[in-house]
Amino acid sequence: MKQMSKTWVILVLALSVITLSCKKDFLSEYFHGKGDINGHHKYDDVLSNSIVIEWSKAAFDAAGGASEGHPLLASRIEAMMHIAIHDALNAINPVYGQYAFKSHQYNSADPFAAVASAAHTVLKASWPDNASMLDTKLSTSLSGIPNGTAKTKGIAVGVAAANAILALRANDGAFQNPIADVPVSKVPGVYNAVPPNNFRYAPFWKTMQLFSLETHDQFRASPPPPLKSPDYAQDLNEVKAFGKINSAVRTTDQTASANFWYEFADIGWNRIARIQARDYNNGLYATARMFALLNMAMADTYTAFFDSQNHYYTWRPYTAIRAANMDGNNQTEADPDWEPLLTTPPVPEYPSGHAALGNAASTVLSHIFGNYSPFTTTSTTASPAGAERSFKSFKQAADENADSRVMAGIHFRFATEAGLKLGDKVGKWTLDNYLKPVH
């Protein structure tokens, strides 16, 4: 028995040494995977995901960092970059279905070189003014990879995957002038520009080429409550009280939440995804897929809520509260001097795009990591700067994100509830229809 125990110990130690050796020699082991008892292809996703996380941060920097000024464009480009990364990796080893680049001819390519070159190619083509920064980032990513055939093939497959998604989106019209005029309307309920913004932001995005949805109105929100309804009066009076710049009822924490979640959604939810990917380290391929699904869902959520906002074209709380004497509802009262806590975005009110984006992200991340994945994050708009907030789940964060728009004075409660529903539908659709496991 003792001899048997010694034999097992020796065997386990030998297997450990072999396993460690195999981890180093990933080109021969992990690229080709193994077969299960039925002969199906399996892949042990043990390679570090740090390079994907790093290039997600590079995409943030290339879009302007905390000073990002065009979130629609940034979200589109982030989706394209992460699709290219995902497609390049799965051209090396087909773990998940691909999106734009559907080759499987690179099984000896270096995956890290593929990630870096795919990301770099998309970002440099999209943000040419940041070419120098991106070139430096690429050099850093490639510097630790030994020269040779695997590296060369990795670079080649990354470029090929990037060019595939760039070609697919070449004529989508994303680079149009995003500034549009807003006709003045005296009709109760109709959208008007809200100071200090005297323009409307990118109305053409309502028909932007889609990443995952089949039609722009696929998940169009149900109509908002009529102006004369009790529900409308209730929600107007709520935002009137809590969203006012010098509100006497909004708590300190509610004010902090309003500021915290005010940053653009693509910035905040990609940061949360990087935190989760770092803390859980769920593998290179799974991380690439997660970022691709997340950003596809958010990019299409932008288009979906732009469709709904254009369809209903409703006024913001600023206009509604100041003109409440015109809404025909005896439960509302005008305040001609009312001001919101934060600046109102230059788009129509219903549904809340911010709520939709947050819940689309929450739906994807909950599917990947499980809903009860606690995290702590910060925000570019946190007050004081650098302040952090902690959450027990993605859904808790998405719900607070939605609520923050009421506290900020820029959305009605019914708009945030409709946004949550829309985002959840887009997130689930994207998960159900794209980048599925090969087996």
Q: Percentage helix, strand, coil, to 5, in the chain?
A: 55, 5, 40
Domain 182-433 class?
mainly alpha
Name the residue among 262, 242, 254, 251 with its Cα closest to residue 378.
Answer: 262
Contacts of residues 274-277 at CB distance under 8 Å and 24 or more positions apart, as own/partner, are: 274/53, 274/56, 274/57, 275/375, 275/376, 275/377, 276/365, 276/368, 276/369, 276/373, 276/375, 277/49, 277/52, 277/53
pLDDT at residue 86, rounded to an integer? 98
39: alpha, beta or left? (left if phi > 0; alpha if psi -120 to 50): left
Q: In this structure, are strands 375-377 and 200-201 parallel, antiparallel, or unpaired?
A: unpaired
Distance of CA 191 to the CA centre of its chain: 27
Retrieve residue 263's tokens. 């940053």
Paired with 314 in beta bridges are 190
Q: In the chain, which residues have pLDDT < 70? A: 1-43
Give the integer Cα–Cα distance in Å for 124 and 313.
Answer: 36
Count other Cβ atoms within 10 Å, centred on residue 46. Answer: 15
Residue 32, Cβ density class (10 Å: 0-12 exposed, 13-18 middle, ≥19 buried): middle
Please give the CATH topology (third level) of the domain spanning 50-168: Vanadium-containing Chloroperoxidase; domain 1 (1.20.144)
Q: What is the DSSP letter of 223?
A: P
- pLDDT given at position 213: 98
Q: What is the pTM of this model?
A: 0.90
Residue range(s) of every CATH 1.20.144.10 domain in the chain: 50-168
| Upper half-sphere CA count for residue 358 (Cβ side, 13 Å) | 28
Question: What H or E segment, with its residue span, contains residue 123?
Answer: helix 111-126
Looking at residue 42, its pLDDT comes to 54
CB 345 within 8 A of CB 331: no
**Residue spans in the chain of domains classed CATH 1.10.606.20:** 182-433
Q: Tokens 């990917």 sit at which residue?
A: 277
